[in-house]
Amino acid sequence: MKKLVVGNWKMHGSRAFNAELIQGLLASDLATTAPRADVAVCPPFVYLAEVVAALQGSAIGVGSQDVSVQVQGAYTGEVAGPMLREVGATYAIVGHSERRSYHAEGDQLVADKARAALSHGLIPIVCVGETLAEREAGQTEAVVGRQLQAVIDTLGADLARIVVAYEPVWAIGTGKTASPEQAQAVHAFLRAQLKSARAEAATVPLLYGGSVKPDNAAQLFAQPDIDGGLIGGAALKAADFAAIARAA
């Protein structure tokens, strides 16, 4: 299976910053050679069209950081799947822990967003993960299993068309990283859950997210059930992001 590395820029960027970052990415081998991994970046909504245009002709794809379950209407602040597709997005992150925490997004809403993304030609990157308290209480599998099950129940036969990202909440932006063995254990559990639900879903790409850096990426990506990464802070530095993608 080809690896996938996705950079989540979160709420960072400006026209000047983006131009410098993209220039660095285009100068790297990610854009000029046939990459052994698929690579994409997810900028804030307001920069999507500009980033798509700037990366035109390169091997680097573009995705959004969220998608609405609605197609159109009186939904102030929402961005619909058809809008994202029209400006050139390929992926849509759904259920990121920051959305679940800061915007009270529940499992079913995340599953509905995944379905909405698929219905409009976007590939949803469905995020699951546990907090430190949940891990210390031995609830990791129960939590991520519940989060993924909502998606399984909602998507049915479309399950094999998604990407899943395991992002332990305690390792996001903290500098802490799950050990390769810890990450692999959860990925193996998720793989088994997907395969049990739909045989064809056994090949759904499973990404790891949580303080992935150039110096730990190769060890993480070498695990049998880790198919790439959802990269946060390191995605804002062209050299670091390129190094992580090369490690994949």
Q: Tens of pLDDT along 191-231?
A: 999 999 999 999 999 999 988 999 999 999 999 999 999 99
Instruction: Provide the residue ranges of all domains of the chain, joining segments of one domain with +.
Output: 3-30+39-247
| Percent over 90 (pLDDT), the chain | 89
Is 120 one of the catalytic residues? Answer: no
Judge contact between 223 and 180, C-beta under 8 A.
yes
Judge contact between 124 and 94, C-beta under 8 A.
yes
pLDDT value for 30: 77
| Residue tagged active-site, from 98, 130, 167, 187 | 167
Q: Which amino acid is at 138?
A: G
Provide mean pLDDT across the span 150-176.
91
Q: What is the pTM of this model?
A: 0.96
Average pLDDT of the residues of the chain: 95
Q: Is the pLDDT confidence value at 178 over 60?
A: yes
Residue 10 labeled ligand binder: yes
**Paired strand residues for 212:** none
Kindly report, residue by residue over 72-105, the tens digit of the pLDDT. Answer: 999 999 999 999 999 999 999 999 999 999 999 9
Is 187 one of the catalytic residues? Answer: no
Residue 173 labeled ligand binder: yes
Q: How far is the C-alpha of 179 from the C-alpha of 202, rounded, in Å?
A: 23
Superfamily of domain 3-30+39-247: Aldolase class I (3.20.20.70)
Kindly report, residue by residue over 24-83, the tens digit of the pLDDT. Answer: 999 987 766 656 789 999 999 999 999 999 999 999 999 999 999 999 999 999 999 999
Q: Is the pLDDT confidence value at 181 over 60?
A: yes
Q: How far is the C-alpha of 210 from the C-alpha of 171, rounded, in Å?
A: 5
CB burial readout 37-67, b (16+ within 10 A) else e = bbbbbbbbbebbebbbebbeebbbbbbbbbb
